[in-house]
Amino acid sequence: MQSNRLLAALRRKDRDHLIAACDEVELTIGDVLWEPNKRIRHVYFPLDSFISQLVPVDARENLELALVGNEGMLGTSLVLGVNSSMLQARVQGSGAALRLDAASFRRELEHIPALRKQLNRYIYVLQNQLATTAACINFHSLDLRLARWLLMTHDRADFGSFHLTHKFLAQMLGVRRVGITNAAGLLQKRKLLSYSRGHITILNRAGLEKVSCGCYQVSKDMYERVLG
């Protein structure tokens, strides 16, 4: 069991107080924690789970814009004083998370200035990651984007294999399923990964980083610089 990095940065007393207020819950892949523009009832601090945030497009398609693992928190809108978000939150890796209802969370934000400060910085990082993602979509080809996506997921899953079908990846990246098959085929030919029926294993992480566009490193550096 891991801890949550945002909470780990708090002073022991603040952290204990906050964790005591939370429930530890088990999240299962596929769970939808919020629908777009519905009231947010809980915030989540993932421990070893991770959660996608998806923007719905034209009522049919989706696109993943942010991945929240134990380095982050789901529910930043509440920090900004708004109790909904246009993004859908979907569990993408099963595991544990600390959960806190919205009202309690607001109370904790008032009581623990360091928490607000930390989460503000996290929001800054998220914003910049969003900017990087937009640029990546515009300029980089699908295989680069796929490599980046796998690296980000790998960081949060901290084990080298996970359950991801091509169809699922296509929904995340907002492309056709066949596009993923091709891109993944390229990466597989270079012995960077292997997969069969929804089970992807990263064989050569360093190689994958080399193939991926710089966007991965930019996002990662941003996090370390502001929150590390």
Partner DNA sequence: CGCGATATGTTCGCTGCAGTACAGACAGGT
Partner DNA sequence: ACCTGTCTGTACTGCAGCGAACATATCGCG
Residues forming the site for its own copies (CB under 8 A): 55, 57-58, 61, 63, 65, 77, 79-82, 85-87, 117, 120-121, 123-124, 126-128, 130-135, 137-139, 174, 213-214, 218, 222, 226
Binding partner at 148 among its own copies, DNA, none, C-beta below 5 to 8 Å by kind: none
Name which of its own copies, DNA, none residue 128 binds, using a CB cut-off of 5 to 8 Å depending on partner kind.
its own copies
Question: Is residue 90 near DNA by the rule CB under 7 A?
Answer: no
Nearer to DNA, 117 or 167 (CB): 167
Q: Residue ranges of the alpha helices (H) in 158-176?
A: 166-173
94 lies in the site for DNA, by CB under 7 A: no
**Tokens coding 198:** 């929804």
The answer to whether 98 touches 4, Cβ cutoff 8 Å, is: yes
> Are 66 and 129 within 8 A, CB to CB?
yes
Q: Which of 41, 111, 176, 210 binds DNA (CB under 7 A)?
A: 176
28 binds, among DNA, its own copies, none (CB under 5 to 8 A by kind): none
Helices (H) and strands (E) in the chain, counts: 10, 10
Residue 36 binding target from its own copies, DNA, none, CB below 5 to 8 Å by type: none
Write out the two tokens for 101: 């209802």
Q: Which two tokens stand for residue 118?
A: 């930390």
Of the pair 70, 92, the CB lying nearest DNA is at 92
CB 111 → DNA: shortest distance, Å?
45
Dist CA 146 CA 154 (whole Å): 12
135 contacts which partner out of DNA, its own copies, none, CB within 5 to 8 A by kind?
its own copies
The tokens for 211 are: 């193939």
Tell me the C-alpha to C-alpha distance, in Å, between residue 86 and each of 81, 95, 129.
Answer: 14, 24, 17
Place of tokens 């990546």: 136
Please give the Cα distance from 161 to 56 (Å, whole number).
27
58 binds, among its own copies, DNA, none (CB under 5 to 8 A by kind): its own copies
Residues numbered 183-222 forming contacts with DNA, rule: CB under 7 A: 183-185, 188, 195-198
Site for DNA in 120-159 (CB under 7 A): 141-143
Residue 23 class from Cβ within 10 Å (0-12 exposed, 13-18 middle, 19+ buried)?
Answer: exposed
Binding of DNA by 223 (CB under 7 A): no
Per CB under 7 A, residues contacting DNA are 141-143, 165-167, 174-179, 181-185, 188, 195-198
